[in-house]
Amino acid sequence: MKRIINKLIASNDYLLTFILLSIATGLAFLFFHSTPNASANISLLYILATILAARYTAGYRFGIFAALFSVVCINYLFTYPFFKLNFTLTGYPATFIGLLAISIITSATTTRLKKQAAIIAERERTVEEAKRESIRANLLRAISHDLRTPLTSMIGASSSYLEEEELLSSEEKRQLGANINNDANWLLHMVENLLSVTRIQDNQQTVHKEPELVEEVVAEATQRLKKRLPDARIIVHAPEDMILLPMDALLIEQVLINLLENAILHSGSTVPPELFITQENQSVTFSVIDYGHGLDESQLEDLFQGTYNSSDSSDTHKGMGIGLSICKTIIEAHQGTIEAHNHTNGAVFSFTLPES
């Protein structure tokens, strides 16, 4: 397979060299018949063809061949006596040596640049792969921790119901059923998050963006969240003007749902969270503000790594670390930024998306 690929590359190099020299020869004939004393222009045309051949082909041989061909053409076609080779012409050795030197120097330089570009590309691929592996490791670590709790709870509740059905009151049965339903909904939400990340990784960290109305995306996200949390209250502050923003709407809705759900469930506040949408500097910023106990300052650096655990013992809900890791993955795939910090009465989560 490698030999076949090398042969295809070599054949393309031959074709490119032939095309460049053919174009140079055609233009040289035009100059020769239309411009007096066109020898300088003709030489420049062949020099240019030689440089391009050396630049865009592999190795040295194509540039050297172009130099030899150019010298012969200039001597045979455009130097008196025409259509005869005369190697005794004044200046001919200098022309030959000059073109040959140009081709060798250009080929050597471009070969070095190509090798450096290949090394840089390989390093970038390695870094990108390491980044993806880090995301996978964080997700697996978070999944192993976060999914075990609701599954254990569901198994315990269902076992109690099956083993002690006759001893349980109607209220206790309803409570067990409600617990199973809540845990099942949380697991479904987690699966949606994981599918979002898988979708991005399958596309090599890129997303398909289309212009979307920000108001519609926010409205859809809040409606989806209220289906999961019917009692949720959210205050939205948006500009009066409509904003069109390139994005993958489903993924950005997932980010908004994650951040708003965290603000409702993990902030420890009875005050509804607020969502502020601002537009400036060719970008749009979404800020989710809650009025709870805030974030653990000692864990801020790990906030979006999938390892964050609230230090608040009153937080009986599942950890939010995996959701924040997924938010970061989605926003970075949109070439945006995401950050979080505490304010006087709670926490702020903000992400910014470019308008282009």
CATH number at residue 304: 3.30.565.10
Between CA 7 and CA 4 the distance in angstroms is 5
Q: What is the pLDDT of residue 138?
A: 64
Domain count, the chain: 2
Res. 330: pLDDT tops 90: no
- Do 156 and 38 share a structural domain? yes
Give the mean model confidence (pLDDT) for residues 121-126: 87
Choose from 50-64, 163-177, 197-211 the range with maximum mean pLDDT.
163-177
Provide the token pair at 261.
């759900």
- Do 259 and 138 share a structural domain? no
Give the mean model confidence (pLDDT) for residues 54-79: 79
Show which of 162, 187, 204 is a domain's final residue. 204
Res. 200: pLDDT tops 70: no
CA nearest to 258, candidates 330, 200, 204, 336: 330
What digits encode the pLDDT tens for the residues 297-317? 877 777 887 655 555 544 444
As to burial, measured by CB atoms within 10 angstroms (0-12 exposed, 13-18 middle, 19+ buried), residue 301 is exposed
More confident call, 329 vs 190: 329
Show which of 165, 185, 204 is a domain's final residue. 204
Between CA 56 and CA 18 the distance in angstroms is 12
What digits encode the pLDDT tens for the residues 224-271? 888 778 888 999 999 988 999 999 888 898 899 889 988 998 888 889
- Do 233 and 195 share a structural domain? no
What digits encode the pLDDT tens for the residues 135-177? 667 666 666 666 777 788 888 888 888 888 888 888 888 888 8
Q: What is the pLDDT of residue 314?
A: 46
- Do 308 and 174 share a structural domain? no
3-state SS assignment for residue 105: helix
Q: Is the peptide bond before 36 cis (omega within 30 degrees of 0)?
A: no
- Do 346 and 231 share a structural domain? yes
- Do 269 and 199 share a structural domain? no
Show which of 204, 228, 258 is a domain's final residue. 204
User: H or E stretch including 187?
Assistant: helix 170-202
- Do 228 and 90 share a structural domain? no
- Do 239 and 199 share a structural domain? no
Phi, psi of 81 (to 5 degrees): -75, 130
- What's the mean pLDDT when you consider all of the chain? 80
Structural domain including 75 reads 1-204
* Helix, strand, coil in percent for the chain, rounding step 5: 65, 10, 25
Non-local (6+) Cβ contacts of 14 within 8 A are 62
Res. 203: pLDDT tops 60: no
- Do 53 and 199 share a structural domain? yes
- Do 231 and 89 share a structural domain? no
Between CA 305 and CA 54 the distance in angstroms is 47
Q: Of 15-29, 37-51, 232-246, 335-349, where does mean pLDDT reach its minimum? A: 37-51
Q: What is the pLDDT of residue 56?
A: 81
Contact 57, 49 (CB under 8 A): no
Q: What is the pLDDT of residue 313?
A: 45
